[in-house]
Chain A
Amino acid sequence: MNKKSTLHLLLILSLIMGALIFRKGELLSLAIPFLVYLIIGLIQAPSDLDLAAKRTIDRTSVPAGGTVETSIVIKNQGAGLANLYLEDTLFPSMSILEGEAQGRVALARGETVEFNYTFTAERGVYPWKMVRACASDPFGLFDLETEIPAFGNILVRPAPMKIRPVAVKPLHTLHAPGPIPSRLAGSGTDFWGVREYLPGDPLRQINWRLKARHPRRLFTNEFEREEIADFGLILDTRRFATADALEESLFEHTASAATAFSESLLKVGNRVSLLVYGKSITTVFPGSGKSHGNRLLRSLARARLGEYIPFTYLDYFPTRLFPARSVIVIFSSVHPHDLDVYARLRSYHYEVLLISPDPVGYASRKLPQTEINSLALRLARLERIVLLKQLVKLGVKVVDWQVNEPLDKVLNYSLNQLARRRDIRGTQ
């Protein structure tokens, strides 16, 4: 029974009570049309629902903000239904652009109906399991609800960010061909050195100039071997402040950067692992290739900002996630309490690269220009500069990223600066 049938029942009962109280039989006559209406509804109410649904989504993965077309075909395999309400599950972060995700239909036995809608959604994974169906009599007095299985899934990737290959040069590489100079002699393109000729060396690698100087000896050119490396990505999803909207918006940039960075690493064959660190922790163990890329993408799409927890929980993570001497790339706005963890990671001989989207710069562009705001931002900027300098002292490669600037440009510039400083120190 629903609200409509209850209303009718109440009207009938009131008229009967009125007839009794006032001892007026005519009042009973007034109740008859309502009673007939209720009975006709009851007779035509469906006793059982046998519906089948098929969901078609035009793509399996889409970047945030992209449009997705969904089509649902419902077939009535049971008795005819005069009044059927169908409703698809809508997630809060979805917005419909065209069409309807619900509707009323009349379906005869064996008849099908199709409803389509186009939507756009925020970053995330959206799984559908069913379509809600509610059949009732033509007057809508007696409902019969059911859930029709209609599975579907779509991955809404972080907003696309194009980055050119980043010149990260790890000290340790894996012995498999790749793009990273390994500081070892082998097959490659960059000249590495010369050694004495050994039987079996290809003739085109013989250094003929040196042979001219030493006519009785042969020398072979050696090239720097190019290999792949292990990269561990850590995406920090902890909330540091209470400025929800600002932090959420900055986090979207961070997630996009992490996605673009992981894609650029995987594209050239590196092994990449991922740790999404926050209230809920997600791990993806090292791997490479397209399917591994999809796994990473799925985890990055699911990442949501959560409440603050200390970074020290990282101590309990298996080393299998970050193989020894790998490069750990941390995407975080950085909290003063995290310094110990960075120091520990460095002490374990990990190379640590911190890509830190600047929350102060971001807030300064978003907040109104008032005296208090500018003072607060100045203090926060000073605090951040001190914190980043402390991290640099620990040997962490810090990239201070203003999110309105292209990441690859900032990254390449910062890494080149760091390499130059290292070279200068090396020559001193």
Chain B
Amino acid sequence: MSQERVNEAGGWKSKLEELDMVPGEPVFNTGAAWEKLEERIAGKKRTVVPLWYWLVAACLILALMIPFIPAKKTNTNVVLQEKKQPTEKIVTPKPKENNHGIVKLPVIYKRKIKNIKVVAPAVAAIKEEITPEIIQPDTAAVPLVVNVVTPRRKLQVVHINEITEQGNQEELTQHTRSNIRFNEHKGDDFTKAYATNTSDNIIKIKLPSN
């Protein structure tokens, strides 16, 4: 059908297709247009090549890293263990009590102990001269600081009845004995009274009649 139309159209169509410039308009600059096109084509090539390059590079890096990932983990553990130094608590020997009755809590310091390397010949020399029986070359890493831990002072809590019932009255000091008085039995109630030097502080305990 189109061929028929071309035949019908005659020469005007072919004339139109052969036209490569419009009279009265500036001539088309093929060189300048080619430069533009060449830039585009070159730009396209430049963008394609780095994309492939980076993809392949990324894959290679990932592939190379996979076997090292678990190994690296174990290495870090070892390093951490090595870095961890033993610490020892040093406690001040006694908690002191000041005049106001306030007890200072013991202060705890932490100090790192350095590993001391003992050279075997030197140790042997010491062994011969001073105490050959005690110092052994194996005991090279003798700790410099010995734990000095004093137990906290604890006061025994004893009920007053225990003191009186068990006949420990002899053990009471003269001072405390003078401060403790047993009141007489009054009627049904038995009252114990504990008094200090002053008669202001009196503890009264009422016990059931039975």
Q: Bound pair: A and B?
A: no
Residues of B within 8 A of A (CB): none
Residues of A within 8 A of B (CB): none
